[in-house]
Structure 1
Amino acid sequence: MSERPPQRIPNRQLAALIAEAGFSNAGLARRVDQLGLEHGLDLRYDKTSVTRWLRGQQPRGTTPALIAEVFTRRLGRRLSAQDLGLDACAPVYAGLEFASTPEEAVDIVGGLWRKDSGSHAELRKIAFTPAGLVVPSRDWLIGRADERVGHDGSAAASVAASSGATGATTGQPGAASYGSGGGGGGGSAGPVSVRVPAQGRGTVPRQAVPAGVPPARQTDRVAGQRVGGGDVAALRSVSELFRTLDQAYGGGHARQALVRYLEHECEPMLRGVYGETTGRRLFAAAADLTRLAGWTSYDIAAHGLAQRYFVQALRLSQAAGDRAYGSFVLITMSRQAVYLGHGREAVQLARVAQQGVGSAAPPVVQALLHSVEARGHGVLGEARACTTSLARAERALESARPGDEVPHWARTFDEGQLADEFGHSYRDLQQYRAAVQHAERSLQLRSPAFARSRLFCRVVLASARLGLGELDQACALGAEAAQQATEIRSARAVDYVRDFERRLEPYREAAAVRNYRDRIAAFG
């Protein structure tokens, strides 16, 4: 006598959520298929598939996570596969979750650091997904700083108890912090004297560990140790060091060393013993380093990985109680969206950042936020909105005064960078004469230390000259930029040059273009 197959139990949880969301079976199937396409999955679900799920059949693979994400977007609250009565599976949005607690945030970002440090090539091939921007930015906007971030250490609770050391509670968690340091009133380390070698391919070893950074896997720090102000100051100093290297030589030079430092130094600190005041400062420093890991990943075209780092930096900034830094992370995400051609998402992120800090932000910060919004409008070809945002940025910067309290991450935003934003925006709007004017001004004002930014601006100037029909000047500028691109490790620099070369295609038989190609070939 053959055994009867086990009877499936109807999925009442899924049925209740379908009713709450107002979906039809066909509507739910269509949304799951559409979300699958965002992740490169060719799914063919229909209303019959949903009927089977309601009768108790379990969908396979990552489909439960996709279904959960469909309901998360519709209902505005985070739902898991288990909440829908489905079997757990690996989340398709791994790394894009906006954690509900600081402990969960450390688990998520720590997992990213470890996988990235382990040279998982597939991690750097993860696709950027515009849909993954919605929930984190919304949760940040409506969320508040965590009430408690102090930690007794998972392996050192007895140490914390015996010492009797508990940090004082920070004042007004969640308020925007515009001081020189991170959130919770924590100050960053003072200016770091970094000796940067002259540019050139042979000057900085590939993935070399900069002086002062402990070699990977040789650190003595372990989870459960007490964290003090000196530890946080060290994180700040290391952040400045890596930032300087990135600006001068591109994200590819020391990115891997940065990630290893995060894994072997920063994560054990986050799992260590600290009170509230130190905890806020620690999370602020971790947010800054994590954003930088995302920025350097973005610069080597690991866009999905960069997006995940940015989301986690945003969550860490919330734990720090540093609303202003959260806005900086959001405009970093907006810049990536601009670069990838997602203008609408870029504008939305910039506006969320503005709303999150409000009108109390220093003029320099306001100028930065408005200029990034302008870039999104420029990509969309929205001339009026773009020029309006640029005008707001210009007025805000003009109202800045010496002695204003400006956060460390906004201190480099000056007339030179604003002129660069103008140049890019007008180039995108095909207003080439204005683009030339502002790009030239930016190159006059910006320090040679910002080598990559100057390269980008030079390409913008070359493209604008080309748009005005000045082929000889355009090719000369483009050749200079192409040579500089060989001296830094930046996929974005290469892409800028390639974009210029695509613009040259209609003139490929011209003598100036042939000379340009000969010069490029000589660079090897």
Structure 2
Amino acid sequence: MARRRPNQQLAALLAESGWSAGELARAVNALGTKYGLRLRYDRTAVAHWLEGSRPRSPVPGLVAQVFGRRLGRAVHTAETGLDSAAPTRTPTDVVSRTVDPVARLTTLCRADADPARRLALNREMFTSGDVRLPAWPPPTGPRSERPDRTAWTTAAHTDARLADMVTVFAELAEKYGGAHARSALGAYVADDVAPRLTASPDGGTLDPTVLTGSARLMHLLGTMASDAGLPNLGYHCYRSALDLAYRADDRNVYAITLRTMGVLALRLDDPTGARQWSRTALEVAAATATSHVLTYLYAGRALVRATDGERKAALADLLAAERSHAARPGAEADTGPLAPFTRYPPAAFHYQRGEVLLALGDRKQAVTAFHDSLAVRPAGHHIPLVLTHARLAETLLQLGDIEAALDQCRHSCLHYPHTASRRTTTALTALRRSLAPYRRHPQAREVRDRIVQLTRSAAPGSGGMA
């Protein structure tokens, strides 16, 4: 048996980062939790890696990502010396090497329908390097002389049947979460949408209206997968949405998808992807986007910049988002066909504004923004209601207002049983930890026990513009 060679690449990264073996193990375990993994590595495991052993996927990708966060630069899996030497064909390889967007769409939906393939695909780390962003030609003519993009999107590039399905599944995701009806959406795309993409009337050119509708549905499938605790599967769906939107020449859907990917990357401690995708989203759509889409894109980049500590740039983006939000025509409704891709409702914008302000440390203003969001949020949208009440409760606890915080906790618990979402479970778990210092407070203890009861029975796993 050949002796293992010491992993000098990993040793070099450890030295550059200033981490000990135990600190690396803890960072990997913490990031794994965000991907729904229960890892218990310690300094002994890292010592084995340094001696030449290789952990199973997706651990090498997690190691690369935590080093990237620590060092402030992109670190690829190959740089860790932990990637497998054997050229095995993984589920991710099958998807990544499928060039045709229709074939990739079908492959993804079939994988999502098979629990074993779904989990295998989600275990393979997805990185920003997996997305090759094509160059868009610059728009011609001054903005004022170009046709209205809302009319172009909702009329010239809309298929009525697909538009109805987008609205239905977006509403289900907003109300109940990504683990609810996701498999139904995947089956619909594979069985009904894919054949329509291949059955073009001239035998060759794909119908742009069907391409756009398919891109929207794959975007929704990605959002539902990530909300169900399958973020890597979600990324692959987003990538499919990007390919379809590009072929349809739909900058709005392309930019919305990139921005959504950026905020997901932020939640998964991938600042490189968050910065790249949020910036590119605005570069693609800024010249042609509607005020709704611009609000969504600027608000997303503001959160990325605020989290990065770029206060001045974050405030500038937030101001741009507020101006776009205020510039929307007063008669323009926030509901209707394709609302997830043509409308950015005030409730969602105020929630995002609160998140930006919270990341900047402006807790009192964040409280106001969260209250503004709740004031206009539909009563049946359980997912955002759980998240907003929980975020507001945590912020009020930080401000020392325990009674108001407990009231928000109760509201969050009220909506939680209606949800099937990893995000809502994570939000309530974080809320329970925030209440730990108040063990002697009778009402706080009661609320904490209620949260434990609710989340204990939650199944692992399980949103347009939200």
Q: TM exceeds 0.5?
A: yes
Superposed, 1:4-23 pairs within 5 Å as none
Q: Runs ≥4 in structure 1, deviation > 4 angstroms?
A: 26-31, 37-46, 86-89, 180-184, 402-408, 521-524
The structure 2 residue matched to 1:462, chosen from 393, 410, 424, is 393
Conserved in 2, the CA contact under 8 Å of 1:98 and 1:311? no
Secondary structure of 2:329's counterpart equals coil
Query: 2:96 aligns to what?
Result: 97
- Contact 1:423 1:457 survives alignment (8 Å): no
> Which AA in structure 1 matches 2:186?
V
In structure 1, the partner of 2:375 is 444
Which residues of 2 match residues 370-519 of structure 1 at below 5 A?
Answer: 370-402=298-330, 408-519=339-450
Q: What corresponds to 1:186 in structure 2?
A: 157
Aligned to 1:265: 192
Moved more, 332-341 or 380-389: 380-389
Question: Residue in 1 aligned with 2:257?
Answer: 329
Counterpart-to-counterpart distance in 1, 2:343 and 2:379: 13
Q: Let me know the Cα RMSD of the aligned residues.
A: 4.1
Asked whether the 8 Å contact 1:183–1:281 carries over to 2, the reply is no
Structure 2 matches for 1:105-254, cutoff 5 A? 105-120=101-116, 122-123=118-119, 126-127=122-123, 129=125, 132-136=127-131, 138-140=132-134, 142=135, 178-179=149-150, 185-189=156-160, 234-254=161-181
Q: How many residues align?
A: 387
For the residue of structure 1 that corresponds to 2:265, the secondary structure is: helix
Question: In the aligned structure 2, how far is the partner of 1:124 from the partner of 1:443?
Answer: 38
**Cα displacement (A) at 1:45:** 11
Change (3 A) 1:306 1:95: farther
Q: Distance in 1 between matches of 2:171 and 2:426?
A: 22
Aligned counterparts, 1:83-94, within 5 A = 89-90=88-89, 93-94=92-93
Q: Is the 8 A contact 1:350 1:372 kept in 2?
A: yes
Deviation of 1:188 (Å) = 4.2
Give unpaired runs (5+ residues) of structure 2. Answer: 1-7, 14-27, 33-38, 40-45, 62-84, 139-145, 458-466
Please identify which structure carries the higher helix content: 2
Q: Which amino acid aligns with 2:344?
A: F
User: How far is the alpha carbon of 1:373 from its aligned partner?
Assistant: 0.8
Cα separation, partners in 2 of 1:438 and 1:28, compared to 1, 3 Å: closer
What is the CA deviation profile of residues 274-325 of structure 1, one whole-angstrom value per residue up to 9, with x for unaligned ones? 3478611111111111111111111111111111111111111111111221
The question of whether the paired residues in 2 share the 8 Å contact of 1:458 and 1:478 is answered with yes
TM-score (ref. length: structure 2): 0.71
Contact 1:179–1:187 (Cα < 8 Å) also in 2:
no
Answer yes or no: is the 8 Å Cα contact 2:124–2:232 preserved in 1: yes
1:43 Cα deviation (Å)? 7.5
2:152 and 2:216 mapped to 1: Cα distance?
A: 10
Give the TM-score of the pair, scaled to structure 1. Answer: 0.64
Q: For residues 387 and 426 of structure 2, what CA distance do their matches in structure 1 show?
A: 10
Structure 2 counterpart of 1:451, which letter? H
In the alignment, what sits opposite 1:299?
Answer: 227
Q: How has the CA–CA distance of structure 1 residues 254 and 479 changed in structure 2, closer, same or farther, with 3 Å as cutoff?
A: same
Q: Which residue of 276, 283, 287 corresponds with 1:355? A: 283
Q: In the alignment, residue 94 of structure 1 is paired with which amino acid?
A: D
Partner of 2:247: 319
Unaligned runs of 5+ in 1: 1-25, 32-36, 47-60, 67-85, 146-174, 190-233
Shift of 1:470: 0.7
Q: Which moved more, 1:289-298 or 1:474-483?
A: 474-483
Q: Tell me the CA shift for residue 510 of structure 1.
A: 2.8
- Please say which structure displays the higher CA radius of gyration: 1
1:483/1:520 contact within 8 Å kept: no
| Deviation larger for 429-438 or 501-510 | 501-510
Provide the secondary structure at the position in 1 that maps to 2:418: coil
